A and B are shown apart, each in its own frame.
Chain A
Amino acid sequence: MQKLPVICPSCESTLKVSQLSCSSCATTISGDYLLPNFLRLNTEDQQFVLNFILSGGSLKEMAQKLNKSYPTVRNILDDIIEKLK
């Protein structure tokens, strides 16, 4: 799957969604939509949040899965929370 670009390569502003299309009937919708906060995170952070939810919100389980210590995993989560604020 291709990486979703969220930052403008020209001026480094956050990109917006201006067009959505249906791959089955080729309908296209144009507009001016903000990217959800979650999609503004980088791929690594998105994967972390996804795994965190799938592990039932357990940092201990996440630490075991990622082979990192509990405080390291908690710090990653805290940094993501800061990015989402």
Chain B
Amino acid sequence: MIKFLLKPFERYSENTLIPIGVVFMLIGSYFGSVCQAHFDGVLDLHFSNENVSFYTSLLENTINIIVLTVCLFIVGRMVNNKTRIVDLLSTVLIARIPFYFAALFNISGTYSFGDASDIQKTKDFASNHLGSLIMLTLSIIMLTIWMIALLFNGYKVSTNAKGTKAVLLFTVAIIVAEVLSKISFYYLKF
């Protein structure tokens, strides 16, 4: 079971993983729209006090998937020139599944309380919802770790990566993808 949850890439090929990943991307985008959640970065999830349309959420997820796939593919080719982009696309599609569920923490709109730069309002909110904020933080950290573990395991299988260089390149790819996705969202005015 743990192998299925963390290392599905060893057993399942792209023919299985891509359709599953696409279905969950659509479900995740739906979660984003009903829970007013923006996936505005490869590793980002922000709850908004404005409505988020399904198409906005879908576009955000699509940009994140494309940016992350391309960055991992570039470093993957540095590690192993037999790396196929389709394997990294399935890795990214599957790895993001846990992250979509993080949006559900705001299903009741609890965390869409307004402008986070309003310090007093944020302080009041934090003191009134301390327990749930701790739970939210821990849960999102767990889901993010799960996503990164899936990404790394998929990257390892796709590239046959071994050693420190492969780990360093993976880390660089994630950081570059995060920066590029933030720049993309900035220019797209999300």
Contact = CB atoms under 8 A, between A and B. Distances in A.
A69 B10 contact: yes
A64 B12 CA distance: 10
Report the interface size class on chain A: 10 to 19
A68 B160 contact: no
26 contacts: A67-B11, A68-B10, A68-B11, A69-B9, A69-B10, A69-B12, A69-B13, A69-B14, A69-B157, A70-B13, A70-B14, A70-B87, A71-B9, A71-B13, A71-B84, A71-B87, A71-B157, A71-B158, A72-B9, A72-B11, A72-B157, A74-B82, A74-B160, A75-B157, A78-B82, A78-B160
Interface string B150-175: 00000001101000000000000000
Contacts of A74: 82, 160
Please indicate which of the listed interface residues A69, A74, A79 has the most CB atoms of chain B within 10 Å of its own CB.
A69
B166 to A, nearest CB: 13
A67 B16 CA distance: 13
Contacts of B82: 74, 78
A63 interface: yes
Contacts of A75: 157, 160
Listed from nearest, the 9 A-B pairs whose CB atoms lie closest are A75-B160, A69-B13, A72-B10, A70-B13, A71-B87, A71-B157, A71-B158, A78-B160, A69-B12
A68 B16 CA distance: 12
Contacts of A70: 13-14, 87
Contacts of A79: 160
Contacts of B158: 71
Nearest to B16: A69
Interface string B14-36: 10000000000000000000000
